Amino acid sequence: MSSLDLSRYQQPKPGKKPAGPAEEGSSLSEKLSDTLSKDIAFFDKKFGQAQKEAFYSELGLLLSSGIDIKTALEIIEDQMKVKKHREIIVQIKDDIISGNAVWEAIHKHPKTFSVYEYQSIRIGEESGKLPEVLMELGKFYTSAIKLRRQVISTLTYPVVVLVMSVLIVQFMLSFVVPMFSDIFKHTGADLPATTQLLIKVSAKSGLIFYSLLFLVIAGMLFHKTQQHKTWFRKYTAALFLKIPVINELIRKIYLARFCQSMKLLLGSKVLLIDALDLVKNMIGYYPIEFALDSVRKDVYAGKQLHESLSEHTIFPKKLVSLIKVSEEVNAPELIFDKLNQQYSEEIEHQQAVIGKVVEPLFLVILGGLVGFILVAMYTPLFKMSSGLDGM
């Protein structure tokens, strides 16, 4: 979604006819930009986090500026480059004009908007804080996008190096090692155990490579089909929580999302039980979802939030202690906001450290693999050369 252009919605001066499409005209560069935008949009049909960030931020900004909801949605609609996205906004606008509340219009698109979103908007309408809630939703998706980009940037380098390592090793096993193997066969020299092992592996390198490729593709397909099932989410989460360093990073990412969501809902004066239920349904992380299900029941039975959270190891002691303080001073949204900021800063620092450690580590691994192959191949040649020199 591009930046807002309010000039198109200004009233024309008296006696002056509004410029029509033919009179406006656009430069070659503008036409080219529009064409590229359409081409890029063709590959991005989903109304995802980036679109939601812009939608909520801009709608909240327009409403807080005194613009009515119909005009605000028309302005946003005109900024949409993707037809599918524009149709969603048009449907929402038409439903609101027909007498539906904003949250009801949003609720009619369950595949696009989550329970968390339309319930937050409903609370904003009922409390008279719709612009504020919309802007907070925009900030939520801004933070979510930032975290996702940080994770992707951290993983990109290791994945690229790993793929390159596999391809380089496969090339050497398929082409370099067989060349040396032919030389060794003609000489009839005794080969070290490592060289013999490498030649045997080289003979089956094709089978190994394609088997590995099959396993990777099968794993991706398995993940795609099972990723939303409870058993899969439970065991994959448990597995990642056992990996040193990575486990803390993952936990902090979802704790930051938990704190930000609680800050938004409690700041909108949502009941604590309802807030816990909404966060449980949108957090997307099984250990926290499972814990919040139990926490919600405990709070409903009269237990304080910090007491129930302390019974689940996914929540750190520091978080529990600060929530206890917030309950004593009756300012939970402020504490959750501070916790969200703190976790976000820790995530950035930890990802930077992981990146600095992982990059040289993968280079060492790649160099070690290539070096092992070269040493295993050249050692017999050096021995043969030494034997010839001694004759």
First to last CA, the chain: 78
pLDDT in tens, 128-173: 888 888 988 888 888 778 777 877 777 787 788 888 888 888 888 8
The helix (run of H) or strand (run of E) holding residue 8 is none
pLDDT at residue 23, rounded to an integer:
42
Q: What are the structure tokens assigned to 173, written together?
A: 């096993």
Report if residue 48 sits inside a domain.
yes
Residue 265 has pLDDT above 70, yes or no: yes
Q: Are 78 and 148 in the same domain?
A: no
Please tell me whether residues 193 and 237 are part of one structural domain.
yes
What's the DSSP call for residue 330? T
Residue after which a domain boundary falls, among 66, 92, 113: 113
Is residue 136 included in any domain, yes or no?
Answer: no
135 part of a folded domain: no
- Print the domain residue range for 78: 6-12+22-113
Pair 91, 174 in one domain: no
For residues 286 and 387, state if they share a domain: yes
Answer yes or no: do 97 and 150 share one domain: no
Asked whether residue 231 falls in the same domain as residue 88, the answer is no
Residues 34-58 pLDDT 10s: 443 443 334 446 788 888 988 999 9
In 3D space, the residue among 88, 81, 93 whose CA is nearest the CA of residue 111 turns out to be: 88
Q: Same domain for 179 and 299?
A: yes
Question: Are residues 154 and 93 both part of a single domain?
Answer: no
Taking residues 321-345, report their average pLDDT: 88
- Asked if residue 196 belongs to a domain, the reply is yes
62/168 same-domain check: no
Confidence grade of residue 277 (pLDDT, cut at 50, 70, 90): confident
Taking the mean position of all CA atoms in its chain, how far away is CA 3? 24
Overall domain count for the chain: 2
For the whole prediction, is pTM greater than 0.85?
A: no
Burial label, 186 (beta-carbon count in 10 A; 0-12, 13-18, 19+): exposed
**Which residue type, as a one-letter code, is found at position 175?**
F
Does residue 127 form part of some domain? no
Residues 159 and 98 in one domain: no
